[in-house]
Structures are given as structure tokens and as C-alpha cells.
């Protein structure tokens, strides 16, 4: 009998855990954003935290990296950005980080979050910056992880250029991207993590194949094509960001240049702290996950030895190299 009661209790706890993590589509002004809200538990010691994913992915990317380590410590909101995952693309304004920041601000209100620490990885860093500029009351602190926030002169990948073309882009996204993406996704994942290694089962657990659906891929390509021009204007406003800010980047990031983006951002945001990790690639949200969590704690006001943690990460990944 005691075994039966124990099993029933465990099943009930697991069911409650799963029910709490169900995605919800929320109208944010004529279109819907998908999100998962996980309420703080009894060990709450952090304010709400909003996670904004990067390009070519969904909310399951930061959720896989951060949920287990932070669940219960604060209310966690994981969001599919407009046009990604299960979220609607919305209007043309959502190609820009400004439009996406406005949508996320509305979603935060509707999900009961007045203000939060914003964690943005890569392209998500641009939305985090836009949130801080356009909705400063919603931002209690920012953790930028390998952010893409400034204009650059070089091109982007050829397949993004092809997918963003006005007419041919729709055909390319519909007929070329899905089969090509299936063949290339593992190689592309390794390139994004390089010189570090992706965790086992990363593609499956983060539902990464959603990114090669025609509409999602084309929306993503349009975002990336528009980002540099957006940054030319937005970068002039970074000096007005007042929220406590920590920026984490890797010195071997081949996807987003730390010199063009992270180092520049640290100079522009008053009081921002920059941490550059040796031999870290683009996926600081995974490879330097413990450092990122420490940064969240720091902007929340807790005393944390960030440099000591950064050196520990460097020691752990010192021998990482690309295949």
C-alpha cells in the first residue's frame, strides 16, 4: 500500500510538473506568440527571467540549457520569437528587433510579468537591447550572451540571401531548404558550437528541425538580412540603457564577432561588464551555462565571483577543438 501511495504521489508531481510547462498561445495584438511560463517555487531567490532565443531556433533551445538549473528559483518565461516555433510571424514590423521587442513586452504583461531580467542569446541580444530602449520599465537587468547588436560589412550565409529574395526566396525556402536542411543540420550545429561540442541529443531535444520549415526559414532569413541596417540606428541608443548589464562572449566565436559586437556593446552601455572566455565559441548559453547563471545572479544583486567562474569554464574547455 505504501508503495502504491508513493507511486501515485510521484505520478501526481510529474503530471503537475508537465502541466506547468505546457506551451500557451497568447494574442499580442492580432497575432499570437507561443510561450512557456514556469512559476517560481519555494526556493525563489531571483526575480522573473525572460529568455529570448537566437536565430534558427525556438524556445526549447534556452529551455534545455537553463530550465533544470533555474527552475523554482524565479518565474521563468521562454518565448518563441515572432515567426519561430509555434508563434505567428505578425506584421512586417516583426522582421525588426523593435517590433519583436514590442510584442514580447505585451506578452510579458499578459503573462503577469511586470519586469524581469532579460537573457538574450545572439540575435536575441538585439531584441533584449530593443526591449531595454523601448520598454525600460520591463527590464530589471540584461545578460547578453554572444550578442549580435551592431552593423557589419561582410555578407551572411548564401542560403539566407537566397531565402530572403522577394520572389525566388519563397520557392527556395519551400523546395530547397527542407531536404538540404535535413542533410546539413548536424554539420551546421557543430559549426555553431565550434570549437566546443554540442550536448548529446541537442537537435532532437531543442526541436531544431522546426527552423527548416519554409515559412520559419524565410522569416529568419529576412530578420538576419535586416539586422545590420537596424543596428546602424539602434546602436546610437545603447548609451541610454540603464539596467545592470553583463555581456558574455567567446574569443573563438566564428558566428558573431566578439570585437564587432560584444566588446563594442560593453563600451556603449554605461557600467556594463564584459567577460570574454578563451576558447569559447558561439554557444555561450550552453558551454558557459554556469557562468551565464552566475551573471543572472549578479544582475539580480547577488555577490558572485564572475571572473573565477570564467576561469573555471576556460579550464574545462581548454582542450576543445573543432573536428
Closest CA to 286 of 186, 93, 146, 108: 146
Residue that has been written with the C-alpha cell 500500500 in this structure: 1
Mean pLDDT of 35-60: 95
**Alpha-carbon dihedral 221, 222, 226, 228, rounded to 10 degrees:** 0
Closest CA to 13 of 24, 23, 1, 5: 5
Distance CA 28, CA 91 (A): 12
Farthest CA pair distance, the chain: 70
Closest CA to 140 of 75, 70, 48: 48
Q: What is the mean pLDDT of the chain?
A: 90
User: Which pLDDT band, with edges at 50, 70 and 90, does 212 fall under?
Assistant: confident
Residue that has been written with the C-alpha cell 556593446 in this structure: 265
User: Which pLDDT band, with edges at 50, 70 and 90, does 4 fall under?
Assistant: very low
Mean pLDDT of 259-274: 98
Distance CA 194, CA 135 (A): 34
Lowest mean pLDDT among 7-16, 48-57, 120-129: 7-16
**Burial (CB count within 10 angstroms: exposed 0-12, middle 13-18, buried 19+), residue 100:** buried
Distance CA 319, CA 60 (A): 28
User: Which pLDDT band, with edges at 50, 70 and 90, does 175 fall under?
Assistant: low
Element (H, E) at 79: strand 76-79
Element (H, E) at 129: helix 123-134
> Is the pLDDT assigned to residue 12 strictly greater than 90?
no
How many CB atoms neighbour CB 134 within 10 A? 16
Return the CATH superfamily for domain 28-317. Answer: Alpha/Beta hydrolase fold, catalytic domain (3.40.50.1820)
pTM of the model: 0.91
Distance CA 288, CA 296 (A): 13
Predicted confidence at residue 176, as pLDDT, reads: 72
| CB burial readout 301-322, b (16+ within 10 A) else e | eeebebeebbeebbeebeebee
Mean pLDDT of 178-190: 81
Render pLDDT for 80-118 as a digit per residue (tens, 0 to 9). Answer: 999 999 999 999 999 999 999 999 999 999 999 999 999
Tell me if 123 sits within 8 A of 222, measured CB to CB: no
Amino acid at each position: 500500500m505504501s508503495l502504491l501511495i508513493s507511486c501515485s504521489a510521484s505520478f501526481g508531481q510529474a503530471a503537475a510538473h508537465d502541466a506547468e510547462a505546457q506551451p500557451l498561445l497568447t494574442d499580442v495584438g492580432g497575432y499570437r506568440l507561443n510561450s512557456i511560463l514556469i512559476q517560481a517555487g519555494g526556493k525563489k531567490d531571483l526575480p522573473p527571467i525572460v529568455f529570448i532565443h537566437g536565430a534558427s531556433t525556438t524556445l526549447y533551445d534556452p529551455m534545455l540549457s537553463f530550465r533544470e538549473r533555474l527552475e523554482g528559483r524565479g518565474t521563468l518565461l521562454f518565448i518563441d520569437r515572432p515567426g519561430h516555433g509555434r508563434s505567428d510571424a505578425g506584421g512586417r514590423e516583426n522582421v525588426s528587433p523593435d517590433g519583436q521587442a514590442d510584442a514580447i513586452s505585451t506578452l510579458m504583461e499578459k503573462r503577469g510579468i511586470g519586469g524581469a531580467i532579460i537573457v538574450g542569446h545572439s540575435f536575441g541580444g538585439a531584441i533584449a537591447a530593443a526591449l531595454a530602449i523601448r520598454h525600460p520599465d520591463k527590464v530589471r537587468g540584461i545578460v547578453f550572451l554572444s550578442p549580435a547588436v551592431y552593423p557589419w560589412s561582410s555578407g551572411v550565409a548564401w542560403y539566407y540571401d537566397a531565402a530572403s529574395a522577394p520572389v525566388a526566396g519563397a520557392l527556395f525556402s519551400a523546395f530547397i531548404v527542407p531536404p538540404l536542411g535535413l542533410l546539413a543540420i548536424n554539420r551546421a550545429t557543430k559549426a555553431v558550437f565550434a570549437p566546443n561540442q554540442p550536448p548529446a541529443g541537442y537537435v532532437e531535444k531543442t526541436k531544431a528541425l522546426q527552423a527548416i520549415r519554409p515559412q520559419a526559414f524565410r522569416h529568419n532569413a529576412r530578420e538576419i538580412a535586416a539586422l545590420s541596417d537596424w543596428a546602424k540606428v539602434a546602436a546610437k541608443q545603447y548609451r541610454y540603457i540603464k539596467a545592470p548589464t553583463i555581456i558574455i562572449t567567446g574569443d573563438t566565436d566564428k558566428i558573431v564577432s566578439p570585437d564587432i559586437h560584444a566588446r563594442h556593446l560593453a563600451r556603449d552601455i554605461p557600467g556594463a561588464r564584459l567577460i570574454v572566455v578563451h576558447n569559447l565559441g558561439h554557444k555561450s548559453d550552453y558551454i558557459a551555462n554556469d557562468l551565464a547563471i552566475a551573471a543572472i545572479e549578479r544582475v539580480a544583486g547577488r555577490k558572485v565571483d564572475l571572473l573565477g567562474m570564467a576561469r573555471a569554464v576556460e579550464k574545462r574547455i581548454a582542450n576543445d577543438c573543432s573536428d
